[in-house]
Structure 1
């Protein structure tokens, strides 16, 4: 599904593409959110400090953005497009949809500080 020039990718599709090394997954949430729970392999580029020119765009892999629910990643994609940086896809429904699909995340146990693989 496409929304205003932005491809909405489903969680299972993003998972498979990430596992195959065909995409670069960028988390645009804030560092505190990323530090608490994240998708393994996602890079952090918070929307609040996003520099489109710093996006790791290459000819080999598509950049896919994600956030908690999809709103911030859509905003980040628009910011990139406005700056002439080719970013045109995001994880539909964000991390919430990813978790609802039963896909794995990495969490930090707040009591011990240990990394816990979920899923």
Structure 2
């Protein structure tokens, strides 16, 4: 199983349809977050995220580099066959005009 890249706009549509959005950044990096994103820091192996079978999972970091470099770990962290990596991370999300909010 592999993770596929997804644009911010396509990711937003999937999230509206029930996809699980997962932020792999460390807590101290989260000055801004995407509403509804679950926190699963990469330092913990991005563990603890549960998704029902068939429910897409979208991972994001700040710029997208960390999710790409650790795609194998992220794929192994969830029991889903539909896994995506947000292109550009939260920076790409913001650049696409999608909303963020103050972090945790």
TM-score, length-scaled by structure 1: 0.73
Which residue of the partner structure matches residue 15 of structure 1?
12
Structure 1 pair 81–32 and aligned structure 2 pair: CA distance change class (3 A)? same
Structure 1 pair 85–79 and aligned structure 2 pair: CA distance change class (3 A)? farther
Q: If each structure's strand is expressed as a fraction of its own residues, which one has the higher value?
A: 1
1:26 counterpart SS class = strand
RMSD: 2.5
Which residue of the partner structure matches residue 49 of structure 1?
44
Q: Does 1:93 align with 2:84?
A: no
TM-score, length-scaled by structure 2: 0.82
Q: Distance in 2 between matches of 1:91 and 1:12?
A: 10
Which residue of the partner structure matches residue 64 of structure 1?
58
**CA deviation profile, 1:32-89 (whole Å, cap 9, x unmatched):** 122x11000100000011254x231321411110000112223443114356844631
Any gaps of 5 or more consecutive residues in structure 1? 109-114
Higher relative contact order (CA closer than 8 Å, sequence separation 6+) = 2
Bigger-Rg structure (1/2): 1
